[in-house]
Amino acid sequence: MKDNWRFIQTDFGGAYANMAMDEAMLITYSQGKIPPTLRIYGWRPPAFSFGYFQNPEQVLDIAKCNKENMPFVRRITGGEVIFHHQELTYSLVCSKDKIRGRDFVENSLKTICLFLINTYKKLGLSPKFAIEQNPYLFKNNSTKRRNSFCFASKEKYDIVVNGKKLGGNAQRRRRNIIFQHGSIPLKSDIDTAIPFLKEKPLELKSNTCSLQEVLGRGIEFLELKNVIRNSFEETFSVNLQEEVLIFEEEKLFHELKEEKYCSLQWNLHQIDNFRNSRMEKDDSFYQKTCLA
């Protein structure tokens, strides 16, 4: 018998709202109040998100962001800075057993990203994990140099198409619960993003791609959403049932947005003060990763 998952599309939101809703989902699920959930959303206006452990002043030109009204927000997941604009973003929360998860984060990332592999295959592409394309590259991870911009780095289970990285994912664990979200670029926004970055990624255009580039045509948000939904159901043998946020989740979302994600202290200064809050205290560890 197939498990029932909740499917939520929250359309296009701002940076603070998007990240607050993701965390509200994680907390509410950990309290046993909602079923496993897949969420699809977009970003409006464009914004940068950066990893939990990153110092934004080291990776972003904050003065330029402020001058040009470019929002930036800290994620609850690790990894590097991402520019969100012409893209589809997904997030999901579930227990490890719901996706045949393993104790190792790397294994669960690979398992979850299989629905993206299937999505791209349905679109007529030939996606691979980066380690399948070039196993030698990952024989000695300690010698790898990470870039502060997510799409400029490659990890084992990044997804590549025609040798180029497509999108980025990050994960966070709370005991046996998995939260993951990921960015799928519909069109390239590299030229818009680079002026705001402190570190200018070398050869970014030759190492990354958007769906428009690899498909040779434009693809709309709605079309990709429908393919993702079908692929997710097939990959994990589940039923996605379209629903909305519950009352407690909606209330928590607004609290998180106003008290945390709109806060300069969270986004720009010390995060230690949040670790003892009800939003952070129950986490077993923070996983720094940027994949797919």
**Active centre residues (catalytic):** 150
For residue 263, what are its two tokens?
């806060």
DSSP state of 171: E
Beta bridge pairs of residue 94: 178
DSSP 43-112: ESS-EEEE-TT--HHHHB-HHHHHHTT--EEE-SS-S-BEEESSEEEEEEEEEGGGGT--SSHHHHHHHH
Cα-flanking dihedrals φ and ψ of residue 266, to 5°? -70, -45
Alpha carbon distance 73, 69 (integer Å): 13
Q: Let me know: does 226 contact 240? Beta carbons within 8 Å.
A: no
| The 177-185 sheet, strands edge to edge | 168-174, 177-185, 87-95, 37-43, 3-13, 238-242
Rounded to the nearest 10 degrees, what angle do helices 247-256 and 15-30 cross at?
A: 130
The count of other CB atoms within 10 Å of the CB of residue 133 is: 16
Instruction: Give, in order, the Cα–Cα distances in Å from 271 to each of 41, 224, 229.
Output: 26, 35, 35
